[in-house]
Each structure stands twice: as C-alpha cells, then as structure tokens.
Structure 1
Amino acid sequence: MKLSVIGCGYLGAVHAAAMASIGHDVVGIDVDERKIAALSAGEAPFFEPGLPELLTQGVAAGNLRFTINMSAAQGAQVHFVGVGTPQQKDSHAADLTYVNAAIDALIPYLNPGDIVAGKSTVPVGTAAVLAERVAPTGATLVWNPEFLREGWAVEDTIDPDRLVVGVPGARTVSATQIVGGLSDMHEDVSSRFARSTTAGSDSTGSTSAALPAEGERAADILREVYHPAVAKGTPFIVTDLATAELVKVAANAFLATKISFINAMAEIAEATGADVTQLADAIGHDARIGRRFLGAGIGFGGGCLPKDIRAFAARAEELGRGESVSFLREVDAINLRRRERAVQLVVDAFDGQVVGKKVTVLGAAFKPHSDDIRDSPALDAAVRLRGLGADVTVTDPQAIENARRQHPQLAYVDDRDDALRGADAVIVVTEWDEYRRDLSPAHASSLVHGKIIVDGRNCLDAAAWRAEGWAYYGMGRP
C-alpha cells in the first residue's frame, strides 16, 4: 500500500520506517527541513535502537522517502497523523495546534475513499471534531493509537501486543455534543504545513464492533496495513472513536498509577524501616497485580506519562467528571516527591553539608535506551543538587548533547569512569546497563574520593556495594 505519515518526530519517524520494512511504499512529511534531510540520508535524528538500520534499508530500497511538501501525500491510501500534543503553556490541557495544522494541511490532498488514521495522543472527543472536518473530502477518519515504549519502539511497531482502531460508529453523535467547546481550540494554522456500538470477539481473538459499511471498510484497510501482525494473531480491537482515544490515555494513566503506588509504599517503607523491593516482590507474585512497573525509585518522566495524565485530568474536568480521575493529581504529586527524596538522600549522606561536594550523576535520559530528556527525573535531580551548591557532573551514554542544550549550567563528561573520578558521592538516576550491571563496586572504589552511592532506581545489588565498603542508600530501602 501507499502510505503517508504526517509528522516525523519520534512516533512518525519510527512508524514510517517500520511500515516500509514490512513492504509498504511510505512517504514521511514534516515541516522541519533539517529533520527531513537527516531522515532522507538514513540518519535517525534521535537515539532509538534498530531505527537507523530500518531507515537505511528503506531509503536504499526506494520505498521510504521524506519531504517537507504536503502534496506528496496525494495518492496515498492511508494517511497516518503522528504529530506532537504537548502540554499547553498556561494549563495542564493538551495543545492540539499541531494536530489541527496537520489536518488542515492534509485536507486539500485527500481523495474519496482515503483513510486518515490519527495516532497522536489526544483528549477524548478530538477525533469526532476532526472527522467532521475530513468528511467533506470523502475520506474517513479513524483513530489508531500507538503504544510504543522508547527503546523498543521499532519492535512495538512491527510486532505490537495489540492493535486498536477506532472507526465511525453505527450511532452518530454530533461533535459538539461529544466535545463541548473543544472545537473552539482549533487554530487555523495550516499555513505552517504549505459512538458506541456493541462489541464482540471473533474466532481469531480480535475484537470488533457492529459497524456501518464505512467503518467496516476502514477496519479492513487497517488490517491490511498491519498484515504481518494480524496474520500472527495479534489482537485487533475495533471500537468507536472515543473509546480508541480513551484506550491510550487510560493505559498511560494506569501505568503511571502503578508506578506511583509502589513509590507511595516506598514512602511508608522509609518511615517504618521496611524494604519496598521485597514488598514489591511479594505482592508481584499475585497474578492480579504482577511485578512489572512495581519498581520503586525516582519516578517516571519522558514526553508521555507526565503530560498525558495531566491532560487526561484536565479533559475530565471539561467533561464535568473531574472527580473520576482526581486520583491522577496525587499520582503526579507522588512522582514529583520522589525526585525530592532522591536529592535529600544525597544531602543526608553528607549530614546536610552538600555545598562544594563533588556529586556524579549517572544518567541524563528519562529512561535507558533513549536520548529523551523530556521531564527527566535524572536531570531534575542534577539541577536540584547544583542549586544546593554541589559540584555536579553528569554522564550518559546517549543523552549528553540533548541535556547540554537544555541545561548548559551543568558539567558533562562523556566517559563514565572519567565522570566518577574524584567524586565524593554518586547517584544512579537512569538504569543503563553501564551503571546497574557493568559497573562493579570494586572498580568504582578505585575511581572515587568518597564511597557514597544513592541508588535512585533500586537497580544495584545493595549487599555487594556495602560489602565493598560503600554507604549505600536506596529508595524505600532500609
């Protein structure tokens, strides 16, 4: 199939390359000329394992290209929209400027029968507004949320654990009924670029809905787009537009809640002398709970979970249902408190006298296998420590350049051992293998001045570090 991908940031670039790798003819479109030039040369503008190889293969094969010209989308059967939805500067709500701009710019190039597949994370009700704007072209708008994990995005795109497609439902509700004043947020910035139905399960394990012909045809086309995953039995869930939008934000809200839950338990463990890692192991054996995402530490960050739970709460308030997700505000508060706690452990290790102490911060990215520093707990801790008077040195395998641009006031060292040399204390804030697995306590001892280590991710073997004479401090650990 011929596909277009509007927006070639993290989501769009990965999606375009992955779709080309499974045989589609793909054009990626973005307003950023430098980004397009890099992608056209087969170079990933950010660190994501496996992406450079897919880009090189697709560009060389001729079925993957990138351009700044929206007209290149004409003739594609499916148009994926994967632009950013950042948090608004003056509120917690999502900023839909880029989504609206992408749709405005795409509309002149749509043909009857085309499918516009939204992938951006948006407030519930957005798709209904966009569908009404797309409808006069004869194209159909669907919502196909992404569930990517940074560091594993290529794998998650080619071999997802589920596929969700929201299509126009059998019962039509006007966009104004669904979203209230959401359409008022639309800005005409196209110049920047040139309801519920009854669900059931079929024998393949996919979930589908009782759909009108338009929705059924759209679902069938998306099945063809994702043919390798569908053929191997990946759950293919067809629902209405609003549910598809909610699936994404609900998943992120649940994961954020689970992380903040175990961090709340860490706060109790610190007050009682209990060990939150043993607690997590014990409750994780319950199949209803599970051990994943029960790792207490400095908390979550990145460009998704923090902004998405805030936007979800803001949207619930707009719908008059703010009380339904009011707990998300406490989830957010717990998460931010853990950053403060990690810094306090460093301060406490020096008996409150951190001024002039050399502190090495291991990690800058918000998670390993990524160079993403958006809302990074690691950099937050580094900035806080420097603000308290510590002499802070930051190292990271991939994120130093991004970190330097955002926080030039910090000192950065590329080599891990050079960063450790002469340190009075070390804090692990991104659980790269270079820190949690490949750095031995004995080797670290040969480099540092003071043997104090704060494990902000509870990823180290506390007994091994203590046996080597280190003062080890964990999060929610005695």
Structure 2
Amino acid sequence: MAVIADRCPGIQVTVVDLNAERIAAWNDPDLSQLPVYEPELDAVVGRARGQNLHFTTAVEEAIAAADMVFISVNTPTKTRGLGAGQASDLRWVEASARTVAQAARGHTIVVEKSTLPVRTAEVIQTILSAATGDGNGCSFSVLSNPEFLAEGTAIPDLEAPDRVLIGGDDPAAIAALAAIYGQWVPAERILTTNLWSSELSKLTANAFLAQRISSINSIAAVCEATGADVREVAKAIGADSRIGAKFLQAGPGFGGSCFQKDILNLVYLYRHYGLEEVAAYWEQVVTLNTWQQQRIARLVVTRLFGTVSGKRIGVLGFAFKADTNDTRESPAIRICRDLLEEGAILQILDPKVEEGQITAGLVQPAGGGEGSWLPVADVHQAASGADALLLLTEWQAFAQIDWPAVAAVMRQPAWLFDTRAKADGAAARAAGLNVWTVGEGSG
C-alpha cells in the first residue's frame, strides 16, 4: 500500500488495523520505529505518509469511504479441527469480508491480497452477496491480486515487478485495478486470469520456489558425503537456461510466512480432491526441509564430541533470511530448539530481531531440554567462551568478521558451522577454527 501511494499521488490510501499499538507504530514520527523492517520502506512511507498514505484504527469509516478494499490479513495454518496442520485458517478473511459487507457504501471492489486457498473468493462473494440483498444499495466485485514480493527486496520487487496478476470475472473491476498498477508497471507485465487461476498461481509459485530449495539442499548433503561442492554444482546447473541460477543456494532450509503454509495448503487441496500421489509429492518438499534443519543440529552435536550439554554456542542470525526482522518459520527456530533440547547454552545475535521475538520462537513444550539462551550485542559476545559459532542468517556483517579476534575468545578446539556459506571460511581456518560449510565436501 505504501508503494501504491508513493507511485499514485492522486489516490488516497488508508491502511486500517484493529491493533492500536501497531497503527501508532506506523504513525511514529521516527521512521526507524516502523513495525516491519524492510530496506527502503522507511523512505517510501516517509514520502507518502500524511499526504496520501494514512494509518488508522477507524476501520468501518475507511471502508465506507473506499472505492476499493484490499483484504490483507493473516491466513495461518489451522492447528486444530478439520484440516489441522495443512488447511488455512480463514477466520480473519471471513471476519474482514463481513466487516466490508456491513460498512461499505455504493459499489466496492474487494481485492484478495492475502495468500488464499483456491476458491476462497467464493466464500467472500457469498458473504458480500448476502449484504447486497439487504436493500442498502451496495454492490461488490471480487478480484484476486496475489503478491509475489520477497521479504528483503520487497520495495524493488514492487517498483519493478516481474508480473502483476489480477484474477476476476468483472472486466470493469479488473480494468480499475490494472489502471492503478499501470501508472508505473508496463502493460505487458499486468496479467489477467479467472479468479481460481489467480489464487492457485500464488500457491504454485511458492511451492515451486520451495521445491528448488529442498532440491539443492538434498544435493548439498551428497556433496558433503562425496567431496563435491554444492556451489560448483549449482553454478553448473544454473547455467542451463532451462533451469536458471535463482534459488539454488544451499542452506538451512526455507522459512518465512508463506512457503511451508502454502505447500501444506496445496497438500490439503490435493487430498480433498483424492489426488493422494500428488499430495505425497509436495508433502515431501516440507519433510526434506525439516530434515535439513534436524541434520544441521545433529551435525553440530556430533562434531562437538557427541554432546553440547552445558556448552556455549554462538548463534549468528535468527531471522529467516537477511534484510528482514521476520522470524516466522525461521530455520533458526527448529535448529536452536534441537540444541536447547540437547542442553546447549545459546548466545544469539541478530541485528534486527528483538529479544521478544526470539523468546516467542524458542518457547519449548513442557518437559523440554535443559538448555538456555541469551541475547548478545555483537559477534565477539556471541563467541565468548563458545565451543562453536553457528551462522544461520546470511547478514552481510557476518561476511566481515575479525576471525583472529573471535577465535581468541572461544574455547578450543572451536568450530564454525556456516549454514549459508557466508563467512570467510579460509580466514576462520587460518585463525585456528575447524570449519564446516553447507554442501562443501571434504573429499
């Protein structure tokens, strides 16, 4: 919404939320205090806020004044009941649709922006149609406009998108939304489909990207066993124009708010339609991702003489990827939990993730391990007294570590476990550390 406001000065954009604290943070004069960290976002918000970008808790008033409403709420995986563990929880989508139905005036275009299961638009249409029959003069058109941005590069992804996808069956509504994007996106990059194809395209895009991550991580494991180097393999296969070089970086597995959730939703969809073999195929992508994280934790324990109980391990990075403060489904969570279960003392450093987020991620079930953790302010503190450093997020700062100084405060023999191939492994070895890098075989 900030980018739309920035690129379309003639359009008034109002972001609403029931959470007053969050809205206050978006309105904070100090742009460094925005509730979401994203490179360049502060500048975009700073240019538009107070001009044609507004943040408020006055939900009904904003809907009543709107010609177009974007539903952009969370759609987590259900934790109980029908479809638990796979199906999406649509309670907030339904609640939003009901609020729109009650508050809207005149004709309103309702746009699905959340990542949703196929045919969710049918639910929204049914709720809105009930309001139309109340004789209040309201009418609605429903569109699907899934978002394909990546966290960490969201602003450039929005300013120069590969494509904008709009699904719907009302040509006038499609044209109205396309005209907004058309103020900065070339017409040939604005694609239109029916509603169901648009909803499925978002799930499929995320599934394909996640599949590539699990695939290259499976190759990394055999590289370590045989003496090959996964980076050399990735470069060779990425040079094939049919494959391409993107999403071929081996690591601790995928995280974030979408990949696992969307694949599991596809699995649920396939099983609903009796496509068990296809469901099992996509489910294996998630299974392999979990295996990679468990493999890394086991490897750390094995290399540290089979036990990490009472040993200090410096953890470099907790966000699921660099240039974001998002920790949802971060690989660091499962890996750190496994090490805590083994009794490790974790010294965790992340330049953008707050202590409260780490606490929430590492809450262990009753009867969890005897390990503990503490936040630290820099790499030197993370390494102090540690038997190992475990690099989990590819922050640029971790490529520029003073390894002699770090090695001097570690307990020897000390290890660097680099799950992102981000650190200077040669410099770490020269400083006296043992080094394991994901996908790098010892021959």
Q: Does TM-score exceed 0.5, indicating one fold?
A: yes
Q: Is the aligned partner of 1:223 residue 2:178?
A: yes
The residue type paired with residue 220 of structure 1 is A
Cα distance in structure 1, aligned partners of 2:305 and 2:113 = 50
Deviation at 1:49, TM superposition (A): 1.9
Match for 1:27 among 10, 14, 17? 14
1:448 to 1:225, Cα distance in 2 relative to 1, 3 A: same
Deviation at 1:470, TM superposition (A): 2.0
CA contact (8 A) 2:419 2:438 kept: yes
Cα distance in structure 2, aligned partners of 1:60 and 1:234 = 33
SS at match of 1:335: helix
Match for 1:449 among 411, 414, 419? 411
Partner of 1:66: 56
Q: For structure 2, which runs of at least 5 residues remain unmatched after alignment? A: 133-137, 364-371
Deviation at 1:233, TM superposition (A): 4.6
Deviation at 1:293, TM superposition (A): 0.7
Cα distance in structure 2, aligned partners of 1:427 and 1:65 = 40
Deviation at 1:62, TM superposition (A): 5.1
Q: Is the aligned partner of 1:460 residue 2:437?
A: no
Partner of 1:432: 395
The residue type paired with residue 239 of structure 2 is H
Q: Is the aligned partner of 1:264 residue 2:218?
A: yes
SS at match of 2:184: helix
The residue type paired with residue 392 of structure 2 is V
Partner of 1:89: 79
CA contact (8 A) 2:13 2:54 kept: yes
Could you tell which deviates more after superposition, 293-302 or 467-476?
467-476
Q: Is the aligned partner of 1:366 residue 2:320?
A: yes
Deviation at 1:141, TM superposition (A): 0.3
CA contact (8 A) 2:23 2:55 kept: no
CA contact (8 A) 1:128 1:241 kept: no
Deviation at 1:296, TM superposition (A): 1.2
Partner of 2:373: 410
Deviations 1:324-353 (A, max 9, x none): 342111111110111111112211221213
Deviations 1:29-50 (A, max 9, x none): 1111111122233542122222
Deviations 1:158-199 (A, max 9, x none): 33221000012xxxxxxxxxxxxxxxxxxxxxxxxxxxxxxx
Deviation at 1:243, TM superposition (A): 0.3
1:464 to 1:286, Cα distance in 2 relative to 1, 3 A: farther
Partner of 2:135: none
Could you tell which deviates more after superposition, 441-450 or 273-282?
441-450
Cα distance in structure 1, aligned partners of 2:236 and 2:425 = 19
Deviation at 1:148, TM superposition (A): 1.8
CA contact (8 A) 2:117 2:265 kept: yes
Could you tell which deviates more after superposition, 46-55 or 76-85?
46-55
Cα distance in structure 2, aligned partners of 1:221 and 1:98 = 26
SS at match of 1:426: strand
Deviations 1:90-132 (A, max 9, x none): 2111000000000000112334432111111111011123223
* TM-score normalised by L of structure 1: 0.82
Match for 1:422 among 377, 385, 390? 385
Deviations 1:287-310 (A, max 9, x none): 111121111121011111111111
SS at match of 1:326: helix
CA RMSD of aligned residues (A): 1.9
Deviation at 1:272, TM superposition (A): 2.6
Deviation at 1:263, TM superposition (A): 1.0
Deviation at 1:217, TM superposition (A): 1.0
Partner of 2:100: 106
Q: Is the aligned partner of 1:354 residue 2:308?
A: yes
Partner of 2:272: 318
1:239-388 pair list within 5 angstroms: 239-388=193-342
SS at match of 2:390: strand
SS at match of 2:333: helix
SS at match of 2:417: strand
1:19 to 1:104, Cα distance in 2 relative to 1, 3 A: same
Partner of 1:118: 112
Partner of 2:65: 75
Cα distance in structure 1, aligned partners of 2:231 and 2:208 = 20
Partner of 2:369: none
CA contact (8 A) 2:143 2:173 kept: yes
Deviation at 1:155, TM superposition (A): 2.5
Deviation at 1:268, TM superposition (A): 2.3
CA contact (8 A) 2:67 2:108 kept: yes
CA contact (8 A) 2:143 2:195 kept: yes
Deviation at 1:234, TM superposition (A): 5.5
Cα distance in structure 2, aligned partners of 1:365 and 1:112 = 43
Deviation at 1:220, TM superposition (A): 1.2
Q: For structure 1, which runs of at least 5 residues remain unmatched after alignment? A: 1-15, 169-214
Deviation at 1:250, TM superposition (A): 0.2
Match for 2:25 among 38, 44, 49? 38
Could you tell me the percent identity over the aligned residues?
34
Cα distance in structure 2, aligned partners of 1:261 and 1:217 = 42
Report the count of equivalent residues.
Answer: 415
